[in-house]
Structure 1
Amino acid sequence: MKFWLRTFGDLRLLDEQGHATAFPEKGLVIIACLIAADRASVPRVPVAELLWGKSTPSTSFTNLRSLILRIKNRQFELDRHFLSFSESRIELNPSLLSCDVSAFGVAGPEEPFEKLALLVERFHEGLFLEGISLRSIVFSDWLAQQRERQTIALERAVDIARPLAAKPGEIALVKEAALLVSLAHPQDEVARRVLIEAHDAQSEVNHFRSVFERRSRLLSSWAAAAKRPVKGAVVSTKADSPTLEVPATEAAVHPMARVPRLSLLPPSNHGTDPAAAGIVTALLEDITIGFCVLNSIQVMAPYSAVQISRQTADKVAAFEHHDVSYVLDTRLSGVDSDRSLFCQLIYMASDEIVWAERFSIDGRDLARNNRDISRRLALSVASEIERHRITRAHFEQNPAAYHRYLIGRQYFSRLTLPNLRRARREMKAALHESPNFAPALSSIARTYSEEWFLTARGDVELLKSAETFALQAIAARDDMADGYRELGVAKLQQGALDESVEALELAEALSPHYADVIADHADTLAHCSQLEAACQKIEQAIELNPLSPDAYLWTAAGANYGLGRFAEALAYIDRIAAWLTGFRLRAGRCWATPRRRVLSSAELAKLTLTLIWINGF
């Protein structure tokens, strides 16, 4: 029996009985380096540079001599001389121990699926030398190269085994390995192709691919068609002036941020229910694959996420160690057909809940619901992370501007002329602090379009101001939905229906689960007489935002009325919070239709009062 050196995950030396054996850590690193490089010996000089760096050679050689002494003493105690030392070299005796990293070398198994299974097992155990942190740039560079080489070896093994996979177990192994490659190399096209091919039979990733291909196509066509120049000036200090122009050199430059890393935590309360465990496992796998296809978020490998979720110690420290930016925490509740999945997206740096939603898991149609939930979850989380990342970037760059922006947003809760003007004043104050703050630009556009509504729709200059600020928001950040949304609303109010549809279509493509954008898109479709599509859109918005604003219900009522669905229109009107406004719509539209319905005495009384109110105005 040989000793066993474990290098993936925790670095450990195990004896013949599998028990952990004490040994100098840097000595184990030397052994791992020799085995990973398929070398029997190495000069002392590069070993000293690897462990302690090149900056102070004399100190490195002194430290190496001390380490060699400790290694010799420990090997004497074990009566196992894994390493031997001469004046200039360090040699390995490979007959005394085996190592898990050998699977990646020439001595690994030759049978394709046996090799692939072994490599997958290594990746599941953790990263190569994961817990080792040496103050040496040489070691850091070498370790990165080794991990890259191991990922390439896994990719090659996938490429060899993929055309040979015929049995269900072989196909599942190839898919699992491709997922690991994609997690390590988000841009790897081979792994992406394998994932897409593996899941095409169930159409699980077609939705992701089509959504984001459409998003890229729309952005490209918009950039090619619009080409609207942005002038270079400053914010006007006049209270009602719409003039704000972003310097082109600043607006065109978007800071390149690293791709955020996400960890999907399985529910901690599903272990006693095997059915729930199966649901969660399948769901998290689908979501992970969806993120890999999206290629916009780096996802922690499911195995590592599960291990962290089981830790009783400080999970926050574990996430920080693995550079996790966001955590998707999940919980199951209910039983059978009443089962639901609660998800919340947490930004780890500030322990902030960015987004939360509850999904119904209907046991009567589990396969379809799981697929739909995985799609909605992946797209929702991707959109929310992107929106939160953009807003955080503005906050981190200029907290004062972000603070003024938040103050201004509070005034949108009750739309009155004084509140709109207060909001506009705060947004312009934010822009004085940060001229490229796209959320503030789009919010100013909203204040002008809402003011146009509240002032009897008589001042076309308000709409032109809304359009100006919307275009500047797009120039400042062309991958945010809000600018396109405000442009679409302004174009609708000006009667440019085709341009409105184009802008709102792009806004929805950028944020597929942004309920307000979808509702505005539905309103525009209704004005374009695309009533069936409008009904579908507004129902989607109401589903995403169940406690819907009256504007959603108004759009739904109008679209259903146009289709002759008077009962549905009246049902939406009855849900409008401002009931006098709702009954005004009822009186003006539904009461005069050929399909008059019999009203109850209470409805008739309300309707009579409403008609009196209308006549009074």
Structure 2
Amino acid sequence: MALTLVSFGSPRLLDESGVVIAFPEKGLLAAGYIATRPGRSVTRAELAAFLWGEDASNPLVNLRQLLSRVKIRQQEIGTTLLELRENDVLAPAGGVDCDFLRLKDLPANRPLDIVEMSLAHVTGAFFAGVGTSSERAELWLAEQQEHVLSRFAQALEALAREPDQLSREHMQRQAAYRLLEFDPYSEIAYRILINAFTAEGNFAQARAMFDRYSARLQKDLNAQPDGGMLAIRDHAARQAIERLPAVPVAERPTTAPFSPRTGLPRLMLMPPPLGNIKGTGLLATSLLEDVTIGLCRARSVQLVAPHTARRVAAMDEAARQEAYRNCDVSYVLETRFTPGAEVDALFASLVSVPEDATIWAERLPVDPASLGASYNTLVRRLAAVALSQIERHEFSRIGRATTPTAYQNFLIGKHYIRNMELPDIRRARKAFRETLKEMPDFSPALGGLSRTAHLEWLVTARGDTELLKLSEKYAQAAINADDDGSDGFHQLGVSRLYRGAFDESIELFEIAERIAPSHADLIADHADTLVHASRLEDALAKINLAFELNPFAPDYYWWTKAGANYSLHRYEAAIDDLTHVADQTNVLRFNAACWAMLGDMRKARAYMRRTMENFPDFETDKWLALIPIRDPAQQAHYREGLRRAGFK
């Protein structure tokens, strides 16, 4: 039987069909270590010291117990990874094929082979999760990983210099992101990514990538980019300027014309009356300044400049109403500071100016003792709630309108896109297109079109790559229309995820989230990407933040949380998450897998039968092939749950 030892990520033994064969993890570590020693042989004393440390109590006893389990398992599978002798342990050359040794043996003059094999195999830390108490083992693990990553980086750099390197741009980009996962300071990786984004005209992402590199060097190493990287940054900036559309000299305006973004509601954030505000009140005022910054980044409303808002706040009521009309203000977010007996508070209310009606109000506690811990949450909540209430109010007016405005068509699209049903996805697409007829550069609507394409790809489950390409096209159009907006980066991140580009997807989400830190749906999609990228604890932290910003969340928030909990073997928590999903038809197979892993086969089979009634063509491997998951062990874990439940 031809066996392969997979050493990166969770170590595992695979047969020729790629099926995992159970084997003691420390036995796999021993096989990998011995295969690198002279003669592929070590003494028992050396192996015991390697695995448990020279100062451990009874390392030889531990070794005898391990080798006893190895011997029994080798007899069961009919192959020999370790040849056990009286004083020595050998790793026969034909016993197992070690992936990291194959990488090490590739000649340096074959950079393409090195990069392709590294992408296929270097998917996690070297022997991740194998507990060792030996300094010798830790040093060996670090040395082997460093050697493989160094050859990976050198090969990638060599590949980028080859004449036909443009034909491999996508692979090089994937490789650069993979390198950054293990070496966050890799200049080679950053250089390749910045050049790739510049070449395709994605200057916003090139700039964001350089800023990330520069900030990381400064924060972690107190260093600055060298001259070569600065030259690459300057080249990207020159390319961006050169590609701007030319303006004939005769047509250049002498003054910048005022051209508001038509169709969007205009919001004015009124500061609290100053009076004799001290202490906590000053903190509350600072908080509002940060809320203003957050609202300025929103693309679904226009925020009246704070200077104008302060001038209007000083007017009497009649003059204020006149100012609202002159500034075409749709909504006013009024604030006032109210001292309390036990805790002070900031009172906020959202007023619809045309209807002269308060549509939302809330009292937010402002406690100096806990403000440091809750400050960011308060900022995000106030900005997010104000925007969501404006959207909700505008949506409620659609039925009273003769013809929906461009913005109301956008809200119709947002309404339908939350439903994971094909007819609703296509209704959303139609509404977004109606928005773009009046506002062709409205990036949220372009982002919405991108989302409809990737959702249709998910729902139809046909593996239609043209839909993903269409999604990327609209996402890129959103970035081109507004590279200071989050929508394009958000949707491009989702599309890249389903193309299997995990690291690029995460990078795009980080850019989007820096732009829109209070966008709950964006944060939820970021969490979903982290689940697929096998960063499960990070995913849970993200999805919990999304729930804080959007307590009455749509189904896919719960899907994401359940997926993270299942992959962390928290099956009861996953089942509880799934109870919150409105359309239970879509989570039947997930429930089946959870109950199967808990050992309740009666419930598992019941959910399996209901799944097959609704989806008679469902096949486990066919479905899993469409879902990108970085760690094969995570995918195998989901497959195991479905198989136990009785799915084919």
TM bin (shorter chain): 0.3 to 0.5
TM-score (normalised: structure 2): 0.45
TM-score (normalised: structure 1): 0.47
- Which of the two has higher C-alpha Rg? 1
